Amino acid sequence: MSVLPTDDETKAYDKWVKIDKMERCYILTARANLLQHQHQSINTSYDMLESLKEMFGEKNRVAKQTSMKALLITKMVEEIFVGKYVLKMMSLLNKLEILGMVFDKESQVEMVPQTLPDSF
């Protein structure tokens, strides 16, 4: 014999589902496009957070440090096309964003000219 949930239990569950959907949206909005795509099929915010912890746990700190160092020491050399170099900088900034380090757009735009050679 199955027991049907009470009205209060049904309301509590419906409220949880609604809040969980909002949390999923917040998590997806806060992630880069690649991570959004990877996590859209995950059903609950808890499962999303667990997936993110698994992806970026302790290794995240080392990856951030390595990526930040690469960004800070990157300088354009005279022989490289500017477009190719800007794509490299964008890639480094995107990687840092995926790892959780977010730079506002104005700072990103200011960073690139700082790494160009003086002759540019």
Residue 67 CA to residue 91 CA, distance in Å, equals 10
Query: Are both 28 and 80 inside the same structural domain?
Result: no
Residue 53 CA to residue 74 CA, distance in Å, equals 29
Q: Note whether residue 84 is domain-resident.
A: yes
Query: Are both 65 and 117 inside the same structural domain?
Result: yes
Residue 60 CA to residue 35 CA, distance in Å, equals 15
Q: Note whether residue 74 is domain-resident.
A: yes
Amino acid 103: pLDDT: 81
Amino acid 65: pLDDT: 81
Q: Which domain holds residue 45?
A: 7-56
Q: Is the pLDDT of residue 1 over 70?
A: no
Amino acid 33: pLDDT: 64
Number of domains in the chain: 2
- Give one word for 33, left, alpha or beta, with left for phi > 0 and alpha for psi -120 to 50: alpha
